[in-house]
A and B are shown apart, each in its own frame.
Chain A
Amino acid sequence: MSRIDRRQFSSYGAATLGLAASVGGAQAQSGTRLRCFWWGNPERDKRTRAALDAYEKKAAGVQVTSESIGWGEYWTKLATQTAGGNAPDLIQMDYRYIYEYARRNTLLALEGVMPKPLDLATFSPGARDSGKVDGKLYGVTLGVNSKAMIYDVAMFEKVGVKKLDLTWTWDDMARIAGEISKLNPGKYWGTGDNSRWEQGFEHWLNQRGKFMYTEDGKANFSRDEVAEWFDLWDKLRKTGACAPAEVAAMNTGAVDQYEISRGTAAMSYANSNQIVAFQSISKSKLAMSSFPSTPGKPSGHYIKPSMLMSVSSRSKSQEEAAKIIQFMVNEDAGVKALGIERGVPGSSEAQKMIASDLDDLGKAQVDYVAAITKVAVPLPPPPPKGAGEIETLLRRVADSVAFGKQDVKAGAAQFHMEAVNVLARA
C-alpha cells in the first residue's frame, strides 16, 4: 500500500517539474505507468523524451514519466531511491555501476523477456555482452563509444599536421604538443595535463596488455608503473608541451572546464560520443583521433557501452519496460529519435536506420568507432566498488606531483597505497 503512495507521490513530483505529460487524467487510471530515469544533458533529454513520447503514442494506455539529472547527482539519487524501495522502472546504467547493482539483485535479468518482446539478435556480440554480469544480461547497450583524443584542427594545421590517424605515437604527441606550445607561450599549450585522468592511465596500462583492475577487483598496477606514468607527463610538463599544474587544476571534469573548451590547450582526453558536446561549446573546429599509440603494442582502446538501459527487479511492469527498450534500440521511430547522442547503436540494423540522418560529426564518430573496433583490445572487467574514488584520488595525487609538492616517486607510492586501501575499505 505504502509503495503505491510513494509512486504516485513521485510521479506528481515529476509532473510539477514539467517533465510528465499529464497526471490524474482519465487514461492514467486504467493504464500502465512507468518511470524512466537517466543522467543527461539538454540534447539527450530532448531526444529521450521524444522517443518516450513516440512510444506512448504507439502503446495505448501506457504512460512513461521521465526524469534526468547530471552525472554526479544521478548516482546519489538512484542509490537513495533504490534503498527506499522506490527505484524507477527503467534505469540508465553505466558500465562502472552495473556490476554492483546487478549483484545486489536490484536489476532484472533480461533473459526472462527475451527474445520476446526484447530481441537483440542484430546486436554485435561485443555490444550485447557488455551488459552481462556473471553470465546474465542486466542491461542493453544504448550506444558504444571509445576513448578519443579531441583536438583543435586549426592549431594542428598551424604546425603542419593536417589530420591525425590511429598510428600516431607518444613521440608524435610530444613533438606536436611542443610545437603548438611555442605559438603562444605561457598562454596556450599543446596538450592538457592527462596524468590526472583515470582514462589516460588506464589506456596506458591497456597498451601494455594489462587491465587496471583484476577480475576480482584488486588493483592491477604496480608502484613502478604509476611512477613511469607520472614521469612521462612530468617530462612533457618540463618541456612545456603540457599545460602547467595551475591550468590543469582548473579542469574539474565538466565538459566546459576542459582545457580545449577553455581555450588553453589544443588537445584533451575524452570519449568519442562527447565530441558532440565539446563541439557545441567550442568556437574552433574539433576533430578526434585515438590516444597516442606505442609502435608494436596493442592500441589500448576498447569499445565500451557508453550507457545501458536496465529494468528494476522491483518494477511492476517488467514486460512493458522490456518493450520500451526494444522500441529504443530496434524500432525505427525510437532509434531515430535517440540518434547517436549516446554513441553508435549496438545493432547493425539500427546503424542502418540512422545512417542517412548523420551530419559530419556523426559520420566522424561512426567511422572512428568502426576503425577502433578493428584494433580494439578486449573490454576490461567492470571497475570494482571504490573505483570512482580512485579516479578522484588520481587527480589529487597527480596534481600534487604537478605542483611539485612531492616528486614522482613519492606520488606514485602514495597513489598506489591509497588505491589499495580504498579497494580494501569499499
Chain B
Amino acid sequence: MTPWILGFLGFTLGPTLASLYLSFTKFDLLSSPTWVGLDNYRFMFTSDPRFLNALRVTFVYLILEVPLKLAFALAVATMMDKHIRGGDFYRALYYVPSLLGGSVAIAVLWRQLFQGDGVVNKLLFAIFGVQGPSWISTPETSLYTLVILAVWQFGSPMIIFLAGLRQIPQELYEAASIDGATKWKQFARVTLPLLAPVIFFNFVLQMIEAFKAFSPAFIISGGTGGPVDSTLFYTLYLYQEAFANFRMGYASALAWVLLIIIALFTSLSFLASKYWVFYEDER
C-alpha cells in the first residue's frame, strides 16, 4: 500500500495540484510563474478562436468516430461469435490494427494512402474513373481520414463485445426462433437489450478516448494540426501551447477545462444510461 500511496502523491496528486496552480499563472518554463488570476480562463472563453476551433474539431471527430467504431466493432464481434474454423486466428488478426494504430508507422502509412497520388485515389481512378483530391492535405476531408483511422482500430471494443455476446444464454435465441422471430428481430430484441451494459461500457471508454485523441493528428500533420487547423484536436492545441509556444499556464488552464468537459459528458452519459441500460438483476 505504501508504495502506491507514495506514487499517487508524487506522480498524480502533486502534478495535478501544481497544474491547477499553474493554470492561474503565466509561466514560460525559464522564468518563474507569475500570478495572473483568471486571465487564462478569460482569454480562453472570450478571445481565443483556436480554442473554439479545437473544441469543434474534437466534437466532430467524437460524434462520428464513437458510433461508427462501436457499430463496426459490434458487427465484427457478431460475426466472430459463430463457431467457425480458425475463429481464434481471425480474432487475433482483427485485433492487430488496435496494436499498430497508435504507432508512427501507421500514421506515415495513412499519409501515403490518402495523399494526392496515394493508393486510395489510384483505386478510385481505376474503379470509378474519378480523380480524388489529396484527402489528407485538404481541409475539408483531412479530419475524416483520421476518423477512418480510428474506426479501423476497432479491436478492443470488439473483444469486449465478443465477451458480452458469449454471456447471452443460448436458450433465449432458441425460444425466440421457436416463436418465429427472424435473425434481425433476434438481434434487435434479444442481443441488443442484453448487451446494453457492455455497449454502455464501451461507449464511455471510447468517448473518453476520443476526447484525448492526439498521436495520429500529431504525426500526420507534423504537429501543426493542419491544414488550416482542420485536424487541431483539443489535446494537440494544448500540446502546442505548452511545448511549442511555452505557455505552460495557459496550457494548464486548457487541461483543466478538458477535464471538466470529460467529467461533464461522462456523468451525462451515466444519467442517460438509466433509460436504456438494464442489468440482469433489475426489473
**B30–A246 CB distance below 8 A:** no
Q: What string of 1s and 0s marks CB contacts (under 8 Å) between B111-151 and chain A?
A: 10001110000000000000001101111000000000000
| A395: contacting residue among B30, B115, B139, B226, CB under 8 A | B226
Q: Which residues of A contact B31 (CB under 8 A)?
A: 104
CA gap between A78 and B136 in the complex, in Å? 32
Q: Which residue of A lies closest to B227 (CB)?
A: A249
Q: Is A323 an interface residue (CB 8 A)?
A: no
Once A246-B138, A249-B227 are accepted as A-B contacts, the answer to whether A82 and B244 lie under 8 Å apart by CB is: no
Interface set, chain B 221-257, CB cutoff 8 A to A:
221-224, 226-229, 243-247
Question: Using Cβ atoms and an 8 Å threshold, which residues of chain B touch A386?
Answer: 245
B229–A396 touching, CB < 8 Å:
yes
Contact across chains for A392 and B30 when beta carbons are under 8 A apart = no
Which residues 50-104 of A sit at the B interface, judged by CB distance below 8 A?
Answer: 72, 76, 79-80, 82-83, 100-101, 104
Q: Do B29 and A396 have beta carbons less than 8 Å apart?
A: no
Query: Once the chains bind, are A399 and B227 in contact (CB under 8 Å)?
Result: yes
Contact A252 B29 (CB under 8 A): no
In the bound complex, do residue A249 and residue B244 qualify as a contact, i.e. CB atoms below 8 Å apart?
no
Instruction: Tell me whether A252 and B136 are in contact in the complex, defined as CB-CB below 8 angstroms, given that A76-B243, A83-B29, A247-B116 are known contacts.
Output: no
Q: Which of B193-225 contact A (CB under 8 A)?
A: 221-224
B116 touches A403 (CB 8 A): no
Question: Given the known A-B contacts A79-B246, A106-B30, are A405 and B228 also in contact in the complex, defined by CB atoms under 8 Å?
Answer: yes
Which residue of chain B is the closest to A421 with respect to CB atoms? Answer: B47
In the assembled complex, the CB of A41 is this many whole angstroms from the nearest CB of chain B, namely 16
B222 in contact with A253 (CB, 8 Å): yes
Whether A252 pairs with B133 at a CB distance below 8 angstroms is: no
Query: What is the interface size of chain B, counting residues whose CB is below 8 A from a CB of the partner?
Result: 27
Report the minimal beta-carbon distance from B134 to chain A, rounded to whole angstroms: 4
Given A246-B134, A247-B134, A403-B139: A252 and B224 interface contact (C-beta under 8 Å):
yes
**Max chain B C-beta neighbours (<10 A), residue from A76, A249, A257, A396:** A249
A213 to chain B, nearest CB (A): 17
Residues of A within 8 A of B227 (CB): 245-246, 249, 399, 403
Is A1's beta carbon under 8 Å from chain B?
no
The prevalent SS among residues of B at the interface is loop
Tell me whether B223 and A72 are in contact (CB under 8 A): yes
- Asked whether A246 lies within 8 Å of B226 as measured between CB atoms, the reply is no
8 Å CB interface, A373-402 against B = 385-386, 388-389, 392, 395-396, 399-400
A254 sits at the interface (CB 8 A): yes
Report the minimal beta-carbon distance from B232 to chain A, rounded to whole angstroms: 9
B224's partner among A80, A187, A392, A403 (CB-CB below 8 A) is A392
**In the bound complex, do residue A396 and residue B226 qualify as a contact, i.e. CB atoms below 8 Å apart?**
yes
Nearest chain B residue, comparing its CB with the CB of A400: B228
Query: Once the chains are docked, how many angstroms separate the CA of A83 from the CA of B33?
Result: 11
A389 touches B245 (CB 8 A): yes
A281 contacts B by Cβ under 8 Å: no
A187 cross-chain contacts in B, Cβ below 8 A = 117
* Residues on A with beta carbons closer than 8 Å to the beta carbon of B134: 246-247, 249-250
Report which of A79, A399, A400 forms a contact with B30, defined as CB distance below 8 A. A79
| Contact A252–B221 (Cβ < 8 Å) | yes
CA distance A247 to B134 in the complex (A): 8
- Residues 244-294 of A at the B interface (beta carbon under 8 Å): 245-247, 249-250, 252-254, 257
**Cα–Cα, bound, A399→B222 (Å):** 15
A396 to B136, CA, bound (A): 15
Question: Residue of B at shortest CB range from A414?
Answer: B49
Tell me whether B137 and A250 are in contact (CB under 8 A): yes
Q: Which residues of A sit under 8 angstroms from B133, Cβ to Cβ?
A: 246
Q: For the complex, what is the distance from the CA of A395 to the CA of B223, rounded to whole Å? A: 13
Q: Which residues of B contact A (CB under 8 A)?
A: 28-31, 111, 115-117, 133-134, 136-139, 221-224, 226-229, 243-247
A-B contact pairs, 29 of them (CB 8 A): A76-B243, A79-B28, A79-B246, A80-B29, A83-B29, A245-B137, A246-B134, A247-B116, A247-B134, A249-B138, A249-B226, A249-B227, A250-B111, A250-B115, A250-B116, A250-B136, A250-B137, A252-B222, A388-B244, A389-B244, A389-B245, A392-B224, A392-B244, A395-B224, A399-B228, A400-B228, A403-B138, A403-B227, A405-B139
What is A's interface to B at a CB cutoff of 8 Å? 72, 76, 79-80, 82-83, 100-101, 104, 106, 187, 245-247, 249-250, 252-254, 257, 385-386, 388-389, 392, 395-396, 399-400, 403, 405, 425
Closest 8 CB pairs of A and B: A252-B222, A249-B137, A249-B227, A246-B134, A79-B29, A83-B29, A76-B243, A400-B228
20 additional A-B residue pairs with CB within 8 Å, beyond A79-B246, A250-B136:
A76-B243, A76-B244, A79-B29, A100-B30, A104-B30, A249-B137, A249-B227, A250-B116, A250-B134, A252-B221, A252-B222, A252-B223, A252-B226, A257-B222, A385-B28, A386-B245, A388-B244, A399-B227, A400-B228, A425-B247
